[in-house]
Amino acid sequence: MEGLGILAEGEHFAVDVTLVQKVVRNIEYTPLPAAPGAVAGIANIKGGIVTLLSLSELLGRGRNANAAHAVVFKPMTNGNDQMGLLIDKPDNLISISESEIVPPHKTEDDEGIFFISGLAEIGEKLYKIINIGLLLNYK
């Protein structure tokens, strides 16, 4: 898997780069205070409305003021709905072989982290692999 490394809450994550449409630095978005769960807001990106999820909120850590960037994903259905993920900052592109990915270790603290499909140690960093399919079905 070719992955895009991202940083959030001091942790390293990776997403399949083939599912990424773009990375937006210093994203401007409209917060949706009454929105359910981890929905942080919406952004107008090149004339399209993108729903933004807060990775910090999905991790159960509340909203993060440092999350100033977003990873916008390609639509996975025929609809025009697009989703993005608010992050602290993007990192490098990384290559992760299937043999390097191990199942995630679930603890009491991360029981609700349904979207982590695996872990991979690359160099000195431990990446949590985000399953975008599961994330895009977030309600």
Helix%, strand%, coil% for the chain, nearest 5 = 15, 50, 40
The pLDDT tens digits of the residues spanning 98-111 come to 999 998 876 655 55
Whole-number pLDDT of residue 25:
95
Domain count, the chain: 1
- CATH number, domain of 70, equals 2.40.50.180
Residue 113 to residues 5, 7, 18, 44, 105: CA-CA distances in angstroms? 18, 16, 23, 28, 11
Whole-number pLDDT of residue 78:
58
CA 52 to chain centre: 10
The pLDDT tens digits of the residues spanning 24-48 come to 999 999 998 888 878 999 999 988 8
Whole-number pLDDT of residue 134:
81
Q: How far apart are CA 97 and CA 70, in angstroms?
A: 25
Residue 134 to residues 39, 96, 105: CA-CA distances in angstroms? 15, 20, 18
Judged by DSSP in three states, 119 sits in strand
Whole-number pLDDT of residue 87:
94
Per the structure, the complete domain to which residue 118 belongs is given by 2-136
**Per-10-residue mean pLDDT, the chain, length 139:** 92 94 94 86 91 89 82 76 91 93 72 80 93 74
